[in-house]
A and B are shown apart, each in its own frame.
Chain A
Amino acid sequence: MIDNKTFLVAGIIIAILIGVVAVFLASGDPDGLESTALVVSGQKDLTGLSPEDGDPEEVGTGTFAYESPMPDYSLGESLGQMGGLIAIVAGIILTLLVVLGASYILKMSRKGSKT
């Protein structure tokens, strides 16, 4: 059985490997929700291919808009797949740190701790 540290390191490596493979192999097709948006707005058949220039947000009714720093897990067209790699790895590490931090804070905030 592997110890906590090895488990954590192995887990991070596997997560990063999945993310790296995703940058190169992930499908560019819209996801299930976007695809449904294309279907209900008449831009796509239920079982047909998705249009290259389809706009799933056409059906939107909301008004709020937010600009994220790394939209669509990329750093923009110019950096291409390298930008995608940086974005994914940064996201995985950030997720790990945020969850580690939140877990430690919650564990410490417990009064009369059992451990």
Chain B
Amino acid sequence: MHIPDAFIPLPQAAIYWIIALVFLALAVKWARSEINEDKIPLIAVLAAGIFALQSFNLPVSMGTSGHLVGGALAAIVLGSPFAAVFILTLVLIIQGFIFGDGGITTMGANIINMGVIGGFVGFYSYQGLLKMIKNPYVSAGVAAWLACLIPALACAVEMAVAGTFPLVPGLVAMGIYHAIIGVIEGIVTAIVIYALATARPDLVDSSIRGTPA
């Protein structure tokens, strides 16, 4: 769901950039206080993995493909939605400037959708679900599905405001496609979290290792 430059008029794109920069500043604050020698390899590997996964377009039928976003994954593993903002922003900068994936003027909107909304929806729905069902992997999977679907709906609303998509057909199409993409996102997120928790239980957020699988 990388919005290209052509899809948002400049004045609106500027507003999304300003909002994105506020969250980016908070993410930098998070990084300065939370990053330590042990977390750096985890953050770097998550970023590289998210970049790789985002380049992998999986067929989801109906003439459409989709790739994972990774916002929920980053936020859950590192225990903060700002971790998702931090990682996704750096990934989006590289994708936009080097690979033309997602626009430059629209990068603010892309940071908001995938980093901010994806990170916050993923993190807080995970926390809520974990309290109810006690299983961190199922909670993470469902949270990742939501963290794929809700940013897509937000994107459809932004497209409607921009005059690029009509509201209802945009919401329907974005919703259907990303509800399917989100299932893959959920499964992969749960598997990656399980793998990370097995390889380095000390590095992942305490909510994951605190509960027996």
Contact = CB atoms under 8 A, between A and B. Distances in A.
Q: What DSSP secondary structure best describes chain B's contact surface?
A: helix
B10 to A, nearest CB: 6
A78 interface: no
Given A12-B48, A66-B103, A29 B28 contact: no
A79 interface: no
Interface string A12-36: 1011101101100111111111011
B47 A95 contact: yes
Interface residues of A, number: 73
A93 B169 CA distance: 39
B194 to A, nearest CB: 14
Contacts, number: 252
Interface residues of B, number: 83
Interface string A30-72: 1111011101100010111110000011011111111111111
Interface of A: 1-2, 4-5, 7-8, 10-12, 14-16, 18-19, 21-22, 25-33, 35-37, 39-40, 44, 46-50, 56-57, 59-73, 87-88, 91-96, 98-100, 102-104, 106-107, 109-110, 114-115
